[in-house]
Amino acid sequence: MPRIIHTADLHLDSPFSLLDANKAMARKAELRGTFSNIIAIASNENANIVIISGDLFDSEFVTKETIEFMNSQFSSVPFCKFVIAPGNHDFYSDKSAYSKSVFPSNVYIFNRNELQVFNFPDIKVCVYGWAFTQESMEKNPITHSIDTNPDYINILAAHADIYSSSSKYCPISEEDIARTNCEYAALGHVHEGTEVKKAGNTYYAYSGCPEGRSFDECGKKGVISVDFEKNSFGRWVPTFSYKRVCRRRYEKINLDITAVESKDEVVARIKHEMAKQSLGSETLLRVVLTGAVDQNIVSASKKITSEDIGTYYLEIQDRTIPLVDEQELLKDITIKGALYRELLPKIKSPDPEVSESAKQALIYGLAALSGSDVADFE
C-alpha cells in the first residue's frame, strides 16, 4: 500500500528577526531539526514519496551548510523519493540552489512554470507539478484536464493560491483541481493547514507550515500522511492522518487583568491560562493585557519575563485602559473631564496604535494635572 508524506513551507534559513541573536540561531537549528523529524517519519513509516510543495527555503539563496544538511537527510532514506515543487520564496532559477547544487538521485525537482510530470513505474505513482521561476507566478498551469494513468496513483504537487483568482502566487480554483483527475493534490503556500476537501474526484489540502516562525503561525504544526488502497471499483482511494513535527509553538493569550492588585497576580493568571492550554517551556507566547487597570500594575506587568512563567519567549502587549471613574470624568467640568471626553473615542478605537497613543496621552495628562510624577510610565 503506497504511502506519501505531504509537507510545504519549511522556510529553512529563516532569519527569526523577532528574537535576539542567540535565540535566532537556535531557532534556525531547530527548524533543521523539524526537517529531520519529517525525514524520520518518512523512514520509520516506510514512505514511498515525500512531497515538498514549495518554499523549502526562505529565499532564492541558501547556505552551503543547509544544502549539505538536506542532502545528508535525503540520502539517509534511499528507498524514499523526494519531489520538490519550488514556490515563490525558493523559486527555480539559474542562480538558485536547485540549479547550482547537486542533489542525491532520489530527489526530483520541477524546474519549469508549466505542468510537468515525474513517473515512478516501480511504485506506480505519477507526480504532476510545476516550479515558480520568479517571485510571482500569475498564470495558471492547469489549462486543461490531465490525461492521468488509471493504473497509477496520480498526485499533484502545487505551490498555489486557491483563495484569490487575482493572486500573484499561482491562482488556481477548485475546478482546476478537479480537472487534474488526480487522487490527491498536495498544496503549499498557505501556512495554516486545512482539512482535506474534495473537488470532483480529487482530494486536496494545504499541509501548512511544519514549524511556526511568528505569531501569525500559532499552534501545533505537522505534515499530512496519505495512504492509498483500491476500492471495489478499482480506483485508488486515499486515507489521511496528521503527524506533529514542530519543535516549538507560537501561541497568544488575551488576559483581562481588571481588578488585579500586583504583578504576582498577573503572573499567576498567565500561568493558569497556560495550564489550561497545556503550554510549557517549548512555547513562544504573546500575552495581550486587557481591562481597566491601575497603570502602575500595567507598568510592573510589562517587566514579566519568560523565566517568570516558564516559556521559551514572552512578549507582553498592553491593550488595557487606565483605571478611572468614567462616570465622574464624563460629568467633570474641569480640564480633566474635557481631556477624558476628547480622548475616549480614540481609547476605544479598534486600531491598537490609535488606542495605545490615546491611553498614554490620558495617563500623562491626568498625571500632569494632578501633579503626579509620570516617570513610572516610561
Q: What does the pLDDT average to over 157-178?
A: 96
Choose between 320 and 190: higher pLDDT.
190
**Where are the domains positioned within the chain?**
3-244, 249-377
Percent of the chain with pLDDT over 90: 71
Task: Give the amino acid at 135.
Answer: E
Q: pLDDT tens across 314-360, in order?
A: 999 988 877 777 777 788 888 888 988 888 898 888 888 898 888 87
Q: Which residue has the higher pLDDT, 231 or 79?
A: 79
Residue 177 CA: distances (Å) to CA of 145, 186, 265, 277, 307: 9, 10, 53, 37, 48
How far, in Å, are 287, 323, 332 from residue 326 at the CA level?
26, 8, 10
- Tens digits of residue pLDDT in 113-143: 999 999 999 999 999 999 999 999 999 999 8
Q: What is the pLDDT of residue 367?
A: 63
CA distance 338 to 273: 38
Q: Is the pLDDT of residue 271 over 50?
A: yes
Cα gap 172→129, rounded to integer Å: 13
**Are 128 and 185 a contacting pair, CB within 8 Å?**
no
The predicted model gives 278-306 an average pLDDT of 92
What pLDDT does residue 31 have? 94
The pLDDT of residue 18? 81
Phi, psi of 156 (to 5 degrees): -105, 125
Confidence of residue 144 (pLDDT cuts 50, 70, 90): confident
Average pLDDT of the chain, as a whole number: 91
Q: Where does 60-173 have alpha helices with state H?
A: 64-75, 97-100
- Per CATH, domain 3-244 is 3.60.21.10: yes
- pLDDT score recorded for residue 258: 86
Q: Give per-residue pLDDT as tens, 17-76.
A: 888 899 999 999 999 999 999 999 999 999 999 999 999 999 877 889 999 999 999 999
Buried b / exposed e over 277-290, threshold 16 CB at 10 Å, is eebeeebbbbbbbe
Q: How far apart are CA 127 and CA 121, in angstroms?
A: 11
pLDDT of residue 337: 85
Average pLDDT over residues 160-185: 95
pLDDT recorded at residue 371: 56
Angle 117-238-205 (CA atoms, 0-180°, nearest 5)? 70
pLDDT of 147: 87
